[in-house]
Amino acid sequence: MKIVSPLATGHQVQLLQGGQEFFPALIDAIDSATHEVRLETYIFNVVAAGAKVAAAMERAAQRGVSVYLVMDGVGTPSLPPEWAGRFDRARVQWRIFRPLGRLGVLIPSRWRRLHRKLCVVDGRVAFCGGLNVLDDLYDPNHGELEAPRFDFAVRVTGPMVQAMHEATAQFWWRFQVASTARQSDFPAAWRALQEAVTLALQARIDADTTATATAAHGMDHAVKAALVLRDNVHNRTRIERSYRQAIGSASDEIIIANAYFFPGRKLRKGLIHAAQRGVRVRLLLQGRYEYFLQYHATRPVYGALLAAGVEIYEYTLSFHHAKVAVIDAHWATVGSSNLDPLSLLLAREANVVVDDAVFARDLRARLQQAMTEGSVRVDAAVYAHRGWRQRFLDRLALALTRILLFLNGTRY
């Protein structure tokens, strides 16, 4: 199998768990911005911590920083009028990606969503992970939560920031071109292209300056890492292949924490083969009911995994939203991509892959704690004898998922 993304050295990657670590770091970076902030997210919710992020973006724009915000049209159908007005007055440039419109989910092409969570500030620091701009103790569908949502992100400096900047700048430019083309405003599209090129060059200069400064100050522990994207053009299978390569080469241990877990045949076979050759495979999955299809369609795949010796833990302390993994105590990934059809076949996603024992050890310890203190291990005998109603709902969800994928023209 061809290597998905060669890992380059020279990066500093900091693991951030939950909003209590992520939002202060994000806000500090935005407050330090001097010329540009680019943020992409599935959900942008202006409650509690989300309002603090929105206020930081407003402050940045007011002092002359170019601020670009893209939100997904399903995760964020609209902004509250108060914040839409505040952003407009501050000159925050914000867009909603593919609003569903009147026909909504009846149009299969609209299932292709913006699910990645990326933020790049001044071309010198970037963030990637699973966290939306959404307070840890609040859920739009379930209200206040008694415990923080379980999720991770990374703060990155070094050469990878350039790749993140190019991804976000290119996406914004394409968005602008599509909008101006519909309005027959081609001069505006040309100006948008010129602006994107100028900012990309500035980001490259900033990244080189940061790398030089890092070397000059003797900052050690630069790690090998890479940005791995998934889209519907050039990068259709890169995230899945990065998982499969790491799983296929595992010799000791695989730990995967995934909120919505419904892997395709190749991924399932990879996990089963790993367990059969003596690798300890542990999955930390969603233990709380959130959505019908994502909850019930997952359960039918448990049987073969449990039979092969895979250990499955369901996180019950709060909602599990993480999409991370640690393999053989040195390979790790943190990002937005679930191992399910929506992420692996339809959505725009972004993961950071890190090959570093110190980083992997930190993430592994946090996952270990979540498995021992906030989860329930699935018993193979109990699973095999679950009630008829549970079996029916599981099979119904699985059938509906396959029908929806067929209508979208995808195989899984």
Write down the catalytic residue from 11, 72, 122, 296: 122
Distances from the Cα of 358 to the Cα of 174, 267, 354, angstroms: 38, 27, 10
Catalytic-residue membership of 117: yes
Say whether 296 is catalytic.
no
Burial of 322 (0-12, 13-18, 19+ CB in 10 A): buried
Whether 330 is catalytic: no
Contact between 121 and 37 under an 8 Å Cβ cutoff? The reply is yes
Residues contacting residue 391 through CB under 8 Å, at least 6 positions apart: none
Q: Judging by beta carbons within 10 Å of its beta carbon (0-12, 13-18, 19+), is residue 201 exposed, middle or buried?
A: exposed
What does the alpha-carbon distance between residue 70 and residue 51 come to, in Å, rounded to a whole number?
A: 16
Active site residue 122: yes
Residue owning tokens 């909008």 = 179
- Single out the catalytic residue among 139, 185, 231, 328: 328
Ramachandran bin of 45, using left for φ above 0, alpha for ψ from -120 to 50, beta for the remaining angles? beta
Bridge partners, 200 (sequence order): none
Active-site entry in 11, 115, 165, 296: 115
Q: Which of 151, 206, 321, 340 is an active site residue?
A: 321
Q: 264-283 as b/e, with b when 16 or more CB fall inside 10 Å?
A: beebbbbbbebbeeebebbb
Q: What is the dihedral of CA 345, 347, 348, 354, to 10 degrees?
A: -60
- Annotated catalytic residue, options 11, 224, 296, 323: 323
Residue 206 has φ and ψ, to the nearest 5°, of -65, -40
What are the φ/ψ torsions at residue 299 (nearest 5 degrees)? -60, -35
Q: What DSSP assignment string belongs to 101-136?
A: TTTGGGSGGGG--B--EEEEETTTEEEEES--BS-T
CA contacts within 13 A on the Cβ side of 289 = 5
Beta bridge partners of 324: 257, 334
CA dist 336 and 189 (Å) reads: 30
Cα distance between residue 61 and residue 82, in whole Å: 16
Q: Which of 117, 224, 296, 320 is catalytic?
A: 117
What SS3 class is residue 350? Answer: strand
Radius of gyration, CA atoms only, the chain: 21
* Catalytic positions, written as ranges: 115, 117, 122, 321, 323, 328
